[in-house]
Amino acid sequence: MSSEITKANTAVPVHAPSRGSPDLGQHLEPERLVKSCGDAIIKSALAWMDSSFLYAGAGQRERLTRELAECPPASELESIAGAVADALATKPSRKVVQATVAILFDSRVRGPQNPEVYLGALVHDLLDEGFPPAVVVAACQKLRREQVFTPEIAEVIAACREKQKSYGAVQRLAERLVGVRAKVEAVVLMGSLD
């Protein structure tokens, strides 16, 4: 697939924002981090949730060694948690919401009967809900890729809430895993911590 789209018979790189539009790619960094490490973070958190690893015997230490290899390093966990926390703490941006909604709408063959009202209401509601730019951009990207029809405003808001909840969960798990991972490493190196 080409990295270009055609606009008025002129090839335009997909990643390049149009004049005056914000660069939405920067807001997808949390999405990239969650996609690349989210499953490993969740898997590690579930495996080490009950702290039984603290009393691991020799056979369990082998399992813990394998699980450590699958868990991101502490520095990466800290980086993920920090990046996602920063993204979630970013204030809503009218420019980002307008550009994101425009892309979502313009990527559809059919739109609502009154596009101006739909777009205005959608931008207003997303800003009113206070969603950070990273959440809006990622949620709309997901809707654009997975839904065939123009989504209802309630569907866009639900997608944003789901994305925000997902980011928050990964952030909290990554923060907790930093300390838990250190304990697991100690058990693997020294044996039981009792």
Q: Is residue 163 part of a domain?
A: yes
Q: Is residue 14 part of a domain?
A: no
Among residues of the chain, what percentage have pLDDT more than 90? 57
Task: Domain of residue 95: give its range.
Answer: 25-190
Q: Is residue 6 part of a domain?
A: no
Question: What interhelical angle do 115-129 and 153-190 show, nearest 10?
Answer: 40
Amino acid at 102: A
Tally of CB atoms within 10 A around 120: 13
Give the CA radius of gyration of the chain.
Answer: 21
Q: What are phi and psi of 75, to 5 degrees?
A: -65, -40
Which pLDDT value is given to residue 111?
Answer: 80
Which pLDDT value is given to residue 72?
Answer: 93
In the predicted model, residues of the chain with pLDDT beneath 50 are: 1-17
Q: Is residue 34 part of a domain?
A: yes
Number of domains in the chain: 1
The Cα–Cα gap between 34 and 40 comes to: 10
DSSP 8-state class, residue 7: E
Which pLDDT value is given to residue 28?
Answer: 94
Query: pLDDT tens digit string along 64-104?
Result: 888 899 999 999 999 999 999 999 999 999 999 999 999 99
Arithmetic mean of pLDDT over the chain? 85
Which pLDDT value is given to residue 47?
Answer: 84
Q: Is residue 135 part of a domain?
A: yes
Which pLDDT value is given to residue 51?
Answer: 73
